[in-house]
Amino acid sequence: KNQVEQSPQSLIILEGKNCTLQCNYTVSPFSNLRWYKQDTGRGPVSLTIMTFSENTKSNGRYTATLDADTKQSSLHITASQLSDSASYICVVSDSYNNDMRFGAGTRLTVKP
């Protein structure tokens, strides 16, 4: 079983709408969690990083939350734009070996 599970697998929304992507993990001991955005045909690019003591962090229209007790994170996108169409990948690192575990990603499509 993957230690990082993302949902939904894919999502289609209309331009201007908000959406929330979920990431549940079992990685332990927890070090940090990153959200990456991967445009089609490109490599992933880091959006935000959440450490154990952080609950919320924003990067423009992207807001990530972390609940370390329930081992859940979400990525909220506000006022979506066509350029938000991409895959969003959750990556969780453990503090023992610094190993990174990748989720399978959520494929977001924003339609005009």
Partner 1 sequence: DARVTQTPRHKVTEMGQEVTMRCQPILGHNTVFWYRQTMMQGLELLAYFRNRAPLDDSGMPKDRFSAEMPDATLATLKIQPSEPRDSAVYFCASGLVADGRRTNTGELFFGEGSRLTVL
The residue within the footprint of partner 1, chosen from 11, 13, 68, 104 (CB under 8 A), is 104
100 binds partner 1 (CB under 8 A): yes
Alpha carbons within 13 angstroms on the beta-carbon side of residue 83 total 2
Pick between residue 96 and residue 111 the one whose CB is nearest to partner 1.
Answer: 96
3-state SS record for 5-31 = EEECCEEEEECCCCEEEEEEECCCCEE
Among 21, 93, 108, 110, binds partner 1 (CB under 8 A): 93
Residues 6+ apart with CB under 8 A from 97: none
The dihedral of CA 101, 109, 20, 55: what is its sign? positive
Rounded to a whole number of angstroms, the minimum distance from the CB of residue 15 to partner 1 is: 25
Q: Which residues from 29-68 bind partner 1, rule CB under 8 A? A: 31-32, 34, 41-46, 49, 51
Interaction site with partner 1 (CB under 8 A): 31-32, 34, 41-46, 49, 51, 89, 91, 93, 95-100, 102-105
